[in-house]
Amino acid sequence: MSRSAFRLGPVSGTALYLGAVLGPGVLALPSLAARAAGPASLLSWLFLLCASVPVALTFAALGARLPDGGGVAVSVARAFGRHAAAPVGWWFLAAVPVGTLAAALIGGAYVAHAVGGGDATAAVAAAALLAAAFAANQAGLRVSGRVQLVLAGLLVLLLVAAVALNLPHLDGGNLTPFAPHGWAAVGGAASVLFFAFAGWEAASHLSAEFADPRRHLRVVTWWTLGIVGALYLGLAVASVGVLGAAGAASDVPLLLLMERAVGGAAPVLTAGAAVLLTFGAISTYIAGAGRLAAALGRDGGLPRWFDDGTRPGDTPRRGPAVLAVCCAVLGAAAIVFGLDLDALMRATSACLAAVTFAGTAAAVRLLGDRPALRAGAVLAAAFTAVVLVFSGVLVLIPVVLGAAALGYALAGARRPRTPDAAAGVG
C-alpha cells in the first residue's frame, strides 16, 4: 500500500481502539478477579477504570505529538535516548504472542462450550481465530479497519444486552462478605485485571495511520474510554451482583449472564461475542506489533531485516510472520505441557504494564510544555507502578527482557542508522 492508501478517521479509529482495549478479558477476568478478591474485586475494576483515563489521554497526547509506527518505543527513545526504545519494543513484542495465544484460548473455550466440544475443539477454534487475524492484517489495514468497524458495533450491542437485561436482578446479598480474602487481595485482582485494560499502548502504534493524528486521536480516545468504561463496569457489577458465588466459580461468566438474559440461545450468542472480542483484540495487537517490529528494525532495536513497512499506509509483513511462528510454537507448548491460562495472562500483563509505565514516564519529560498533560502523565505512571508492584515475581520477565534488549542495542547490532531513523527518535 502507498502513502495515499486508506487512513484512519474517528469512526474506524474508534473501532480499532475498541478492538485493542475491549478485549477477550471480559470473557474470563470477572470470575478470576472475583476468586482473588470476592465482591471487593469491584474496587479493582473501578481503580483500573480511573487509571485508564490518564493513561489513555497520555498516549493520545504522545501519539499526536510523535505519530509513528514505533508507538511507545519512539516516545521513550525521544525522552531517554534511542537505546531505551529497544527494551520497550521487546516487552511489547514478547507480550503479543503470549497474550494473543491466551486471548485465542479464551475465545476457543467459549466456542467449544457452545458446540459441546472439549479441549481439542477449543484448540482448533483458537488456531482458527489466530489464523484469521494474521490473514486480515496481512491483507492490509484497510481490511482490518473495515472488519473491526462492523465487529465493534455488533460486540457493543451484545455486551449492552447482557448488562441491561441482568442489572434488574442485582442481589445485595451477593456483596457480602465484601472482602473475604482481605483488602490486599484487591491489589492482586488489579494485577490480573490489567490484561483487560492493556491496549492503549498497542493502539499507539497506529497513530501514524490517522489522517489527522493531532485532532483524531483525542476524539477516538474519549469515545473509546466512554464505551469501555460503561461496558466494563456494567459487566463487573452484573457478574458480582447477579451471579455471586456462581460467577466466581465459573470459567464462562459471560455465558451465565447471557443464559439469564436470553435462555437457550445463550451459548451461540456468547460464542459469537467471544469470537468478536478475540478477533478484534488479536487483530489490533498484530497490527501494532508489526509496525513496532518494522520501526525497531529501522532504528536498531532489531535486525534490519524487520524494516519492511515503516511508512504510514504500508503493511509490515515480516514482523507479523515471525509472530505467527511464535504463536504456533507457544500453542504447541501449551498443548504438550498444559500451560496455565492464568499464568499466560499474568505474564502478558506484567510486560504490558512495563510498556505502559515506560510510555507514561517518557510523557512526563516530553509533555513538560503542557502542565495539565504532564500532571496526567505523572498520575498514569503512578497508577501503573502500583500494578507492577502487585505483579510480584512476574516483574522479572520485563526486567530480563529489558536487559537483553538493552544489551543488543548497546552492542550496535546495526550501523549506521538511516536518515528516517535519526529523524524518528533523535
Q: What is the pLDDT along the chain (426 residues), one digit of tens a residue?
A: 444 455 777 887 887 777 667 777 778 788 888 888 889 999 999 988 888 899 888 988 888 787 766 678 788 888 998 888 889 889 989 988 998 998 898 888 888 888 888 888 888 999 999 998 888 877 765 555 566 667 777 778 878 888 888 888 888 888 988 988 888 888 888 877 887 777 776 666 666 777 777 778 888 889 988 988 888 888 889 889 988 888 887 777 888 888 887 777 788 888 887 887 788 778 877 887 888 888 888 877 888 888 876 665 567 888 888 999 998 998 888 777 777 777 788 888 899 899 999 999 999 999 888 888 899 999 999 989 988 888 889 899 999 999 999 888 888 644 454 444 433 333
Quick one: pLDDT at residue 418? Answer: 46
Specify which residues 158 forms β-bridges with: none
Q: CATH classification of 10-425 is 1.20.1740.10, yes or no?
A: yes
Among the residues of 119-265, which ranges form H helices?
119-138, 141-164, 184-197, 200-203, 213-238, 245-249, 253-262
Compute the distance between CA of residue 30 and CA of residue 98 in angstroms, rounded to an integer: 20
Query: What number of residues does the chain have?
Result: 426
Helix (H) or strand (E) holding 52: helix 41-65
Cell numbers representing residue 342 in the block? 492464568
Q: How many CB atoms lie within 10 A of CB 71?
A: 33
Quick one: pLDDT at residue 422? Answer: 38
Integer distance in angstroms from the first to the last C-alpha of the chain? 27
Compute the distance between CA of residue 372 and CA of residue 360 in angstroms, rounded to an integer: 14
Quick one: pLDDT at residue 314? Answer: 67
Quick one: pLDDT at residue 202? Answer: 61
Indicate the pTM of the whole model.
Answer: 0.79
CB of 106 closer than 8 Å to CB of 254: no
Q: What is the DSSP letter of 210?
A: B
CB of 255 closer than 8 Å to CB of 270: yes
Quick one: pLDDT at residue 255? Answer: 82
Compute the distance between CA of residue 21 and CA of residue 386 in angstroms, rounded to an integer: 20
* Amino acid identity at 212: D
Cα-atom radius of gyration of the chain, to the nearest Å?
20
Interacting residues of 400 by C-beta distance below 8 A, sequence separation 6+: none
Crossing angle between the packed helical segments 72-80 and 41-65, to the nearest 10 degrees: 70
Dihedral of CA atoms 16, 376, 85, 349 in degrees, nearest 10, equals -60
Quick one: pLDDT at residue 294? Answer: 86
Quick one: pLDDT at residue 228? Answer: 87
Quick one: pLDDT at residue 205? Answer: 63
Domain ranges of the chain: 10-425
Compute the distance between CA of residue 242 and CA of residue 305 in angstroms, rounded to an integer: 53
